[in-house]
Structure 1
Amino acid sequence: MFHKEGIVSIAIAVSVAAILSIVAFTVEMPVWTQILLLLLAAFVLIIILQFFRNPSRKTILDDTTIVSPVDGKVVVIEKVTENEYFKDERIMISVFMSPLNVHVTRYPVGGKVAYSKYHPGKYLVAWHPKASEENERTTVVINHKNTAQILYRQIAGALAKRIVNYATQDDSIVQGADSGFIKFGSRVDVYLPLDAIITVELNQKLKGGESILAKFTDE
């Protein structure tokens, strides 16, 4: 299963692979060159197909948990000041996605979208400390039913040149549902209440929509 955002890229990759294959079989050339062209055709197609894959995920809907919005590795867990929306201290968990990860973004909790904004910006490497505030990015805030607010931020990296965000203010959304896509290497930051119970650790690998980042404290 492939993500709808990859339709054009997949079509181009198929065309390129087909052209390279046709050239390899119709133009006179050394055998090693023919093999090289066929390998290049296969490489281009495989890379694009794997990048836009959209595997089915079984999110266990739970109003007490915050799930990871993306696949990737936890690279930051720290208390920070969030300056765009909350303007106060929050716990930030950053998940870095390599080009080999699934790049679908999913809603970490269910509720209603309170805020959704796109910011143009730079293309620093995704793990750069200033990437969260200076890179191209989108910020989404969700009002959870328990009155808590969860913010997540899609951040473009040095290769990612396009962020897709489906969240629209006042939308009612379901935990784990598709909320967007980021192309070619990037990161997502999730900002949690200070009393959230963190359930992940640094360098842990996560699955979007399934791995639990944190839990809300008992009300």
Structure 2
Amino acid sequence: MARRPKQPDPPTGAAHLVGLVRSVVPPLNPAGRPFVLVPAVLAVLGRRSPALRRTATVAALACAAFFREPARVAPQRPGLVVAPADGVVALQDTAVPPAELGLGSAPVPRVSVFLSVLDVHVQRSPVGGTVSRVVHTPGTFLSADLPAASTDNERTCVLLRTDDGQEVGVVQIAGLIARRIVCHLAEGDRTERGATYGLIRFGSRVDTYLPVGSRVLVDVGQRMVGAETVLAELP
């Protein structure tokens, strides 16, 4: 009779505690490390000043929470578009895409997700495919939940082409407090549905422009889970 392979012993002690923490506490996006490290160092150096230590500790924990990047599993059925960010649907309408996307001047379906300072702030690719265009446009810093923010605010537009030729635009929009957009994609890159591709610091909005004929599956006020909530079905 063949012997069953011996199963490894479960971790104990410190290893078990570390594994438990990793399973509960989301990892930190690399872009947030300086924002966490600086107040953490101040908390250590200010151990003789309780007020400084408390303030720096709170700041470090707040930044760690803001820049968290929880693991997500995107649905794999072909033709789906997933939410590019956590937050609440602020707009679900048709609109002319920003000229930078190169999608023409006719209105197309648009879904806007507003991110509060409490939401996860990394952005996820709504579809898998090839990056056709990446354009950063300077602008104002209106409140991100206003309709005019789509055209007036500072933004970074990314055009994605799926393997079957569908084009989906996703736009990171800076908000009233957010002043820094980070995008890791470049023209010609390949990306997978649900993969993290950037973030916006401290409050923002993300617009998704869909091909005409797409079936939008969300409505205003609905809460999104980036990479996991199905936003729409492509034609």
Work out whether the TM-score is over 0.5. yes
Which residue number corresponds to residue 204 of structure 1? 222
Question: Alignment partner of 1:154: what SS?
Answer: strand
Is 1:138 matched up with 2:156? yes
Hey, what's the Cα distance between the residues in 2 that align with 1:161 and 1:83?
20
Matched length: 206
Within 5 Å, give how 1:40-189 maps onto structure 2. Answer: 40-84=55-99, 85-86=102-103, 87-189=105-207
Which residue number corresponds to residue 194 of structure 1? 212
Structure 1 residue 22: Cα displacement: 2.9
Deviations 1:96-141 (A, max 9, x none): 0001111111110001111111111111111122111111110000
Deviations 1:40-97 (A, max 9, x none): 3342122111001111111122321000111000010001112412122111100000
Question: Alignment partner of 2:109: what SS?
Answer: strand
**Aligned 8 A contact 1:69 1:108 in 2:** yes
Hey, what's the Cα distance between the residues in 2 that align with 1:142 and 1:79?
19
Hey, what's the Cα distance between the residues in 2 that align with 1:49 and 1:22?
24
Paired letter, 1:213:
L
- Among 30, 34, 48, which residue is 1:4 paired with? 30
Paired letter, 1:54:
E
Hey, what's the Cα distance between the residues in 1 that align with 2:156 and 2:131?
13
Which residue number corresponds to residue 31 of structure 1? none
Hey, what's the Cα distance between the residues in 2 that align with 1:17 and 1:45?
9
Larger radius of gyration: 2
**Aligned 8 A contact 2:81 2:232 in 1:** yes
Paired letter, 2:156:
T
Question: Alignment partner of 1:155: what SS?
Answer: strand
Which residue number corresponds to residue 27 of structure 1? none
**Aligned 8 A contact 1:126 1:186 in 2:** yes
Which residue number corresponds to residue 29 of structure 1? none
Hey, what's the Cα distance between the residues in 2 that align with 1:208 and 1:176?
7
**Aligned 8 A contact 2:36 2:61 in 1:** no
Mark the runs of 5 or more structure 2 residues left unpaired by the alignment.
1-26
**Aligned 8 A contact 2:128 2:191 in 1:** yes
Which residue number corresponds to residue 12 of structure 2? none
Hey, what's the Cα distance between the residues in 1 that align with 2:180 and 2:75?
29
Percent identical: 33
Hey, what's the Cα distance between the residues in 1 that align with 2:214 and 2:223?
20
Hey, what's the Cα distance between the residues in 1 that align with 2:72 and 2:98?
32
Hey, what's the Cα distance between the residues in 1 that align with 2:126 and 2:203?
20
In angstroms, what is the RMSD of aligned CA positions? Answer: 1.4
Hey, what's the Cα distance between the residues in 1 that align with 2:75 and 2:146?
33
Structure 1 residue 15: Cα displacement: 2.1
**Aligned 8 A contact 1:106 1:179 in 2:** yes
* Residues 135/208 of structure 1: CA separation in 2 closer, same or farther (3 Å cut): same
